Structure 1
Amino acid sequence: MIYPDTFEHKIGFATLREWVAERCISTLGQRHTQEMTFSSDFPTVLHWLSSTSEMLSILNSDEEFPLGSVRDVSEVLTHARVPGTFITAPELLDVRSSLAVMSDLAVFFNAHRHDNGHSDYPHLDETGIKIASFPLTVKSIDRIIDRFGNIRDNASPELREIRSQLSSTSGAIASMMRRVMSNAVEAGYIESDVTPSMRDGRLVIPVPPMYKRRISGIVHDESASGKTVYIEPAEIVEANNRVRELQMEERREITRILIVLTDELRPDIPQIIESLDIVGYLDFIQAKARLARDIDAHMPALTEKPEMEWYHATHPVLLMSLRRQSKEIVPLDITLTRDSRILIISGPNAGGKSVCLKTVGIVQYMLQCGLLPPVYENSHMGIFADIFIDIGDDQSIEDDLSTYSSHLRNMKYFLQRGDASTLVLIDEFGGGTEPQIGGAIAQAVLSQFNDRHMWGVITTHYQNLKHFAEDTDGLVNGSMLYDRHLMQPMFKLSIGNPGSSFAIEIARKIGLPEIIITDAEKIVGSDYINLDKYLLDIARDKRYWENKRMAIRQKEKKIESRLAQYEEDAEQLREKRREILAEAK
């Protein structure tokens, strides 16, 4: 269950849905994109993800997945189920194209299915094995229409005879027309470069109005300027009439042929439509795999219970946005356990707290909608029954709700329905009202979340929540790191210690008068200022020791590399010594 209804828009998933639709080859796949939904059923989610992962491996291989020319002909086929109706030649070309895709897919899955029944792509094969092939129908269509969608002359003996007569009659008309025009040119009625035209399907001669009575025939039309009239010579009127009759006979025969062919195809229509839907679902899966490739998503280790051990997690929409700007995204490593289920993130404004929160929301939601998440393969992810979110301002004029009232309404909903399989995502917890009581209520709510063993990621500036997280089992502090020297956010999450809001430092950087900053420090008191300084020092020291550890690791690697090289050199010297001694002996 997802709450609230605007969840997808708040975390950016609506954009991902559009991206999947754009990567579909056909509207068949796009239809499944709209049906993509959240699931908390472990076998279902595992099947979705495994199918997409298998498709990704196909896309990354040299093998082509045969989906190229599928068409959505389900509506055409549905109409053709009514007796007496028929499928037109262009529509039959699309049907034939889709049937060919079904056949190619059946061949593909058969080629990857072994004698023991196992498949190279077992989860995709569960879907692909349901696709039916219709070779006889394809052969019937090929007998009737060519690859351009035209009815073949030999589709029936009657059609061949009609077209033969059409050809000979048209040839006779052309011969008569040349003779009439040659005589008209000799008589000076028309210019030598005049060519015949068509009016209402009949062959006519363009003639100046002054000579229209000199040529025997029927006037069919005149030009807009009135300087040309179009005459059908009397010699070819009968022949033109015959052509019209033959054309009507041709249309009637084509209609008869198409009705017969549609009658042959009609019993298979339900199964064709069913297979078409399966092809559309495979198109949808390949679109998900193409998106996974674009956002560097992978198949994590999946468990049935809630679990969160993520490495190199990114928000896909932010990733693509920064990539277009030739910028790098800062990935998140985040681990929550049953002993530390709720992460309280603090740190400066514009430091990345909300982005971190939305990243957690969209990555988990992607997973449970069947999209491979943008995390490294060594990540471990679990299944949540519910995801509750409180991000942004939901105040409502119609419902007479203030910002804070809307937050409280959400908290009430979360507490009524939350349990050990619930993930809550709350931005600026306790904000929107007087800080002291807001912080107190937030702490009380947080305590209830913890008592219910709920999981969560919560951002805040409140000191009491940081202290509460430090002293309470089940909660853990985290901070968004800030470069104190450059006075700019690093957008990097650090779990284990609370973060400073850097309010005083940011005020100085902006250039706020020192007297205001001094007064502010006096107002909040030395304890608060000292606490903020301690947090800064802790963050600074942590970065210092992290850099130290990294430098030590690099030196250890260099020493190990040198040692390996020395051992190799020593072994070569020993071997050389043995060779020299052997030669000397």
Structure 2
Amino acid sequence: MIFFEQLEYTKIKELLVQECQSEPGKTVASKLQPLINKKEIDHKLKLTSEIQECLKNRIYFNFENVSDVVGLLRNFHHQTYNFEEFRKIYFNISAANTLKKRIEKLEDYQNFYRIVEDILILSELEKRFNEIYFTDGEIKDSASSQLFSIRKRKKEMRKRIVSSLNEKIEDFASSNFLFDKVVTQRDGRFVIPVKEGSISFVKGIVHGKSASKSSVYMEPEEVVGLNNDIHILESEEKQEIFRILKKFSDDIQHSKKDILKNTEIVKQIDFYFASARFAIRLKAEKPKIAEKPYLNLIEARHPLLIESYDDYKKVIPFSLELGKDFKLLLISGPNTGGKTVTLKTVGLLTLMALSGLLIPAKTDSTIGIFPEVFADIGDNQSLENAMSTFSSHMKNIEGMVSKGNSNSLVLIDEIGASTDPEQGSALAQAILEKLVEKNVAGVITTHYTALKVFAEKTRGCMNAAMQFDPEKHLPTYQFKLGLPGNSFAIEVAAKLGLDEKLIKRAKELTGNQNVELTELLKKMGEEKAELARKNYQFSLKTSLLDQKISEHQDK
């Protein structure tokens, strides 16, 4: 979805994919989506929060060797698996067994405990793999008693052959028939190197010449029978190994449903551990989930900024409530002042929470369920489709207006921009009026004064501002609810080094009307807040007076 990209939800998924240890876990992360079922969301949040506590209490598990074995188990068309295939299956079995064996340590984490409880421990398969294989893939003598016996006889037979050939070498030492006094092998048979001119003096079978052509490899007739016996034992050995691996493959196939079920649990746990590690880096906490479309973010921070700065404290938090006293929030303020970051944070934290991820905001924060989230952020100009920036924005907004309802969340950056300011402002107000009519929840950023006036006088709307330090001519990135903000475009331009003459001329041309109007709106907002405070105090005093009158009458 386009708004996943705009809100940088896809970047969160990419970070989670990187954080997962196993390929199956990475697949789970890549398929992450926001949910609309409160029970399911709550379960995921609780589980991630519990695993976060596990990590803090130094309870770790390793999933690096877990892999996708679905194809190996379901599409098995051979008589046996090879070592690499056995090892993949073994690692999955071992990871699941390790989780289940340590279940007693998880008793304080109920949701995590219940998931691990569903794992069926497969100790015999794990044990059997270790009985059969060395770590390099060689088959152990102890894989079966029959294999042990065969290899023991092979070893004894080799000793007899080598001993016999060494005696032969000693016999030939004085005759100068040998090219070298060593016992070697050719084509699996024990031989000795004889000088080419001495072949007729040594009875036996020739097995080829050396690379230099100066010697031949001969199998003396005394060891032909013994070499034949070794070949028979090697054949028996291969048959026994095949039997062992065939039996082990059949055992695995017999348990494939349990292995696949366990692997499904393990890959989910790998993902939850990745989510928990990510949450620890962000200092993220578990929000409350509300059935209704409502937001209450307390000291919220943008997760990707935390990642970028690698310092939680460098990211300035904000608090925001949407859906109680008002449903449309209009944020104004200076360029580079944090409007877009605030907008993205609202959308991104909503998507994260609905996906079961912990968010960098206080634990009392509440995220409501929004079945549909719409966003129009940034430049979506399409050269391929000959679509201008303005056309692209209008296409996105048309979808919001036509599909949006009281359960939707709408996020629009610089509404009505990228066109004539007067017409853009008028169009933006018409869009806002429609969103108010449809009772859509939303956060919108703007520089248009007319929209600030609209938000001030329209029920269900609220102004907010990103603060600016007029003395330092710098944005403070502080979010303030209830008052509109100045754009301070000229001041920002001056701070960025634009020519002083241009700055002076711009001030002459702009006049003070917009600034004065914004200041007037601020004053109105402050007066409204003061009136509300006095009204609350009056109501409180009236209530106390009524209580005293009632107590007096009772006497």
Match of residue 154 from structure 2: 166
Letter in 2 for 1:343: L
State the distance in 1 between where 2:265 and 2:125 align.
Answer: 19
State the distance in 1 between where 2:210 and 2:500 align.
Answer: 91
Match of residue 18 from structure 1: 14
Question: In angstroms, what is the RMSD of aligned CA positions?
Answer: 3.5
Q: Work out whether 1:95 is the aligned partner of 2:89.
A: yes
State the distance in 1 between where 2:343 and 2:398 align.
Answer: 20
> Deviation of residue 399 (structure 1)?
3.1
Match of residue 63 from structure 1: 59
Which of 310, 315, 333 aligns to 1:347? It is 333
Which of 20, 23, 28 aligns to 1:27? It is 23
Match of residue 386 from structure 1: 372
State the distance in 1 between where 2:355 and 2:436 align.
Answer: 27
- Residues 370-409 of structure 1 aligned to structure 2 (within 5 Å): 370-409=356-395
Match of residue 53 from structure 1: 49
> Deviation of residue 187 (structure 1)?
6.6
State the distance in 1 between where 2:499 and 2:21 align.
Answer: 60
Match of residue 38 from structure 1: 34
For the Cα contact (< 8 Å) 1:346–1:501, is it kept in 2?
A: yes
For the Cα contact (< 8 Å) 1:219–1:229, is it kept in 2?
A: no
Q: Work out whether 1:486 is the aligned partner of 2:462.
A: no
Letter in 2 for 1:14: T
Match of residue 79 from structure 2: 85
- Residues 330-341 of structure 1 aligned to structure 2 (within 5 Å): 330-341=316-327
- Residues 135-534 of structure 1 aligned to structure 2 (within 5 Å): 135-138=123-126, 140-141=128-129, 144-145=132-133, 150-179=138-167, 200-202=187-189, 218=206, 220=208, 222-223=210-211, 226=212, 231-234=217-220, 236=223, 239-323=226-310, 328-531=314-517
> Could you list the runs of 5+ residues in structure 2 that have no partner in the other structure?
528-555
Q: Which moved more, 1:439-448 or 1:514-523?
A: 514-523
Q: Give 3-state SS (helix, strand or coil) of 1:340's partner.
A: coil
Q: Give 3-state SS (helix, strand or coil) of 2:428's partner.
A: helix
- Residues 557-572 of structure 1 aligned to structure 2 (within 5 Å): none
Q: Deviations over 1:492-527 (max 9, x none)?
A: 222221111112222333444444334333433331
Letter in 1 for 2:319: D
Which of 97, 100, 104 aligns to 2:98? It is 104
State the distance in 2 between where 1:437 and 1:67 align.
Answer: 58
Distance 1:463 1:187, change over 3 A: farther
State the TM-score, normalized to the length of structure 2. Answer: 0.83
State the distance in 1 between where 2:277 and 2:183 align.
Answer: 55
Aligned pair count reads 525
State the distance in 1 between where 2:91 and 2:133 align.
Answer: 12
State the distance in 2 between where 1:446 and 1:304 align.
Answer: 25
Q: Work out whether 1:132 is the aligned partner of 2:116.
A: no
Letter in 1 for 2:18: E
> Deviation of residue 339 (structure 1)?
1.9
State the distance in 2 between where 1:330 and 1:46 align.
Answer: 28
State the distance in 2 between where 1:286 and 1:337 align.
Answer: 33
State the distance in 1 between where 2:259 and 2:218 align.
Answer: 50
> Deviation of residue 384 (structure 1)?
1.0
State the distance in 1 between where 2:425 and 2:148 align.
Answer: 88
Q: Give 3-state SS (helix, strand or coil) of 2:314's partner.
A: coil
State the TM-score, normalized to the length of structure 1. Answer: 0.79
State the distance in 1 between where 2:463 and 2:178 align.
Answer: 97
State the distance in 1 between where 2:159 and 2:413 align.
Answer: 82
Letter in 2 for 1:86: T
State the distance in 1 between where 2:340 and 2:114 align.
Answer: 40
Letter in 2 for 1:6: I
Q: Which moved more, 1:302-311 or 1:141-150?
A: 141-150
State the distance in 2 between where 1:472 and 1:208 align.
Answer: 109
Q: Which moved more, 1:269-278 or 1:429-438?
A: 269-278
State the distance in 2 between where 1:96 and 1:502 align.
Answer: 64
> Deviation of residue 69 (structure 1)?
5.8
State the distance in 1 between where 2:466 and 2:187 align.
Answer: 78
For the Cα contact (< 8 Å) 1:92–1:149, is it kept in 2?
A: no
Distance 1:483 1:525, change over 3 A: closer
Letter in 2 for 1:131: I
Letter in 2 for 1:24: C
Percent identical pairs in the alignment equals 32
State the distance in 2 between where 1:346 and 1:459 align.
Answer: 6
Q: Give 3-state SS (helix, strand or coil) of 1:378's partner.
A: coil
> Could you list the runs of 5+ residues in structure 1 that have no partner in the other structure?
114-119, 543-585
> Deviation of residue 316 (structure 1)?
1.7
